[in-house]
């Protein structure tokens, strides 16, 4: 694909439903492919927890790597940009706040009323708020119909929200490694444990660390919790076993000694978290814990019955967060749904790095 451009959509007065607060916000987004004259060939792509709207292509040929789903977005690929116009937009409060290519409003944004970062004065938001902001982006672009909404992980949760609340807009729903329920275990692991990791760091300072020492110790632990929850025992055994880091003290003789799995997981995390804002992590994790497709006294059956669009759930049997059992429970109530299931043995993150398991199925489903 040609060089990708990051764009920005501004909303002068966005209302956060549960918080009952209105603020000016902006949302970064990217597009791939061309919008046809009828404006009816659009796919909305929703990103995962630590992702952003850079889903495919490169900003410049010299970029080290393309966007996170470049393997399946592009001409002739599963999400075929010769056919479809693809939009990927940042979540509110994107975790990658310190990335210069992320424009989306969050707790690190300057509050125009105080001239200081919002910090913990930023309203708690839900994934429903995220979807509403993206619907406003579509309205601004004059797009009233979507061929499909697709997302992995947290993006898959948003796909279900789109299907329920905008049935006249969405023609197909695709959820990759996400089910329409957030079980209590997943609420805790990794989300609440990650929140606790950050807030227990003394440098967090009630969220008011901007301009001072950043609570990177807590952020590091939060991200390690997240990474291990999204992998598996088989992944760790195959890649690291019980090998010991050779150029350091022995873990049998010192608390500072490390097994290879400890060393490598920390290295992976440190390579990714340079752009993360700890408060952004808190807010995104909180939004995940609050996800519930049921409204008020609705049963799961009532909530899922509202999704009229044909739905595809892609499930990895090794995923610890969203399981095959949960998907099978949802299938009973979704009017037009199917499941594509496999076992990568590598866990939840397989949805980003091992798209070969489901690319052809996705392409067939989109038609």
Task: Considering the candidates 153, 159, 318, 344, report the single residue annotated as catalytic.
Answer: 153
159 catalytically annotated: no
Enumerate the H helices of 166-317 as residue ranges: 184-186, 193-199, 216-229, 233-239, 260-272, 278-289, 300-305
Task: At 183, list the tokens.
Answer: 């079980």
Cite the beta strand spans of 17-118 per DSSP E: 21-32, 42-46, 73-74, 79-80, 85-89
Give the Cα separation of 79 and 314 in Å (integer): 15
CA–CA separation, 19 vs 204, rounded Å? 23
- Cis amide prior to 193 (ω within 30 degrees): no
The whole-angstrom separation of Cα 204 and Cα 196 is 11
Do residues 28 and 52 lie in contact, with contact meaning Cβ atoms separated by under 8 Å? yes
Which residue among 91, 129, 348, 350 is the active-site one?
348
- Taking the C-alpha atoms of residue 80 and residue 74, their distance in angstroms, rounded to an integer, is 5
285, 283, 280, 245: which is closest to 261 by C-alpha? 245
Chain mean position to CA 229: 15
3-class DSSP state for residue 29? Answer: strand
The yes-or-no answer on residue 316 being catalytic is no
Question: Are residues 340 and 317 in contact, defined by beta-carbon separation less than 8 angstroms?
Answer: no
For the record, the structure tokens of 258 come out as: 């490390």
E strand or H helix at 296, and its extent? Answer: none
Question: Would you call the peptide bond into 248 cis, given omega within 30 degrees of 0 as the criterion?
Answer: no
Active site annotation includes 153 = yes
Number of neighbours of residue 336 by Cβ within 10 angstroms: 12
Q: Which residue out of 70, 277, 316, 319 is catalytically annotated?
A: 319
CA angle 276–20–219, rounded 5-degree value: 15
Residue 80 has phi, psi (to 5 degrees) of -85, 110
Which tokens hold the place of 361? 């199925």
Are 69 and 119 spatial neighbours (Cβ–Cβ below 8 Å)? no
Instruction: Just list the catalytic residues.
Output: 153, 319, 348
């Amino acid at each position: 694909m040609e060089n990708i451009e990051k764009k920005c959509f501004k909303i002068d007065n966005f209302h956060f439903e549960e918080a009952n607060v209105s603020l000016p916000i902006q949302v970064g987004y990217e597009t791939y492919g061309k919008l046809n004259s009828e404006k009816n060939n659009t796919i909305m792509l929703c990103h995962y927890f630590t992702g952003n709207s850079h889903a495919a292509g490169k900003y410049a040929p010299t970029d080290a790597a393309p966007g996170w789903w470049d393997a399946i977005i592009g001409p002739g690929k599963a999400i075929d940009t010769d056919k479809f116009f693809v939009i990927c937009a940042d979540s509110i409060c994107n975790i990658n706040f310190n990335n210069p290519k992320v424009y989306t409003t969050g707790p690190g944004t300057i509050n125009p009323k105080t001239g200081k970062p919002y910090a913990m004065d930023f309203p708690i938001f839900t994934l429903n708020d995220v979807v509403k902001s993206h619907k406003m982006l579509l309205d601004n672009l004059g797009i009233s119909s979507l061929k499909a909404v697709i997302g992995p992980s947290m993006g898959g949760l948003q796909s279900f929200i789109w299907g329920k609340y905008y049935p006249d807009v969405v023609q197909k729903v695709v959820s990759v490694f996400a089910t329409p329920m957030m079980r209590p275990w997943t609420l805790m692991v990794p989300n609440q444990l990650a929140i606790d990791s950050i807030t227990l760091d003394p440098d967090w300072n009630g969220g008011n660390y901007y301009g001072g020492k950043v609570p990177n110790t807590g952020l590091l632990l939060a991200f390690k919790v997240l990474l291990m929850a999204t992998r598996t025992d088989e992944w760790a055994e195959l890649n690291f076993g019980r090998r010991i880091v050779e150029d350091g003290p022995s873990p049998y003789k010192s608390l500072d000694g490390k097994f290879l799995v400890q060393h490598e997981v920390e290295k992976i995390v440190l390579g990714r978290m340079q752009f993360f804002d700890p408060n952004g992590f808190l807010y995104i994790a909180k939004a995940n814990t609050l996800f519930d497709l049921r409204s008020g006294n609705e049963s799961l059956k009532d909530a899922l019955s509202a999704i009229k669009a044909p739905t595809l759930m892609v499930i990895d049997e090794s995923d610890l967060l969203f399981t095959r059992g949960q998907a099978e429970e949802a299938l009973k109530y979704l009017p037009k749904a199917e499941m594509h299931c496999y076992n990568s043995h590598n866990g939840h993150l397989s949805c980003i790095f091992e798209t070969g398991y489901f690319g052809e199925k996705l392409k067939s489903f989109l038609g």
